[in-house]
């Protein structure tokens, strides 16, 4: 449920509307760019403009919600991959997903960074979640003895972000090749 320290949980129907608006906005931003009119998002989500603005009084609050949702989804992949794959394969898979996310969602992240303070609660929360997810897959891979111990979660994120930015307009094979090169460099 979407809540903060000062509000109570949303009613079930309000939560469904919130979730539908965020999902619709995510898709609309991907299809049409970050400047898609909010009224178009409300129509696509089958809610009134008042419902959209009640949940998201500004475009920036909607950007934040979409960004948080995207980061949450990416971070939730780390323990799932570790449950499905050996640690070094889970690390490679998660870094590959990070790179693809950066390459595909950088526009949303840049828009958000331009519109809110980098010290905001959203940025702190997302940064913490990303470091924890990176640390989860990294420490498991390091425990196997295959990955260097002098690499930390922040290093892993910087490397993944760097590759993601560099392949934003490249072939998907380029991203895979660069991730492979990076992972070879992380070997003990």
Flag the least confident range among 63-67, 145-149, 156-160: 63-67
Coil, strand or helix at 8? coil
Q: What is the pTM of this model?
A: 0.84
Smallest CA-to-CA distance from 128 within 78, 72, 90 is with: 72
Average pLDDT for 97-102: 92
- Give the span between the Cα atoms of 10 and 151, in whole angstroms: 41
Task: Return the bridge partners of 187, or none.
Answer: 147
* pLDDT surpasses 50 at 178: yes
115 or 87, greater pLDDT: 87
Please name the helix (run of DSSP H) or strand (run of DSSP E) that holds residue 16, with its range, or none: helix 12-32
C-alpha distances out from residue 174 to 66, 103, 111, Å: 27, 12, 25
């Amino acid at each position: 449920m979407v809540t903060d320290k000062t509000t109570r949980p949303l009613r079930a129907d309000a939560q469904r509307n919130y979730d539908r608006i965020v999902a619709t906005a995510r898709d609309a931003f991907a299809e049409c760019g970050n400047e898609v009119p909010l009224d178009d998002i409300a129509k696509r989500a089958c809610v009134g403009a008042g419902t959209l603005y009640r949940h998201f009084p500004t475009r920036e609050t909607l950007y934040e919600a979409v960004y948080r949702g995207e980061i949450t989804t990416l971070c939730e992949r780390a323990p799932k991959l570790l449950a499905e794959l050996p640690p070094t394969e889970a690390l490679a898979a998660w870094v590959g997903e990070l790179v693809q996310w950066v390459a595909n969602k950088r526009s949303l992240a840049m828009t958000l960074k331009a519109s809110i303070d980098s010290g905001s609660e959203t940025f702190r929360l997302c940064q913490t979640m990303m470091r924890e997810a990176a640390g989860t897959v990294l420490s498991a891979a390091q425990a196997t003895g295959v990955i260097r111990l002098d690499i930390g979660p922040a290093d892993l994120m910087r490397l993944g972000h760097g590759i993601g930015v560099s392949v934003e307009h490249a072939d998907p094979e380029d991203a895979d090749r660069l991730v492979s090169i990076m992972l070879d460099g992380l070997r003990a």
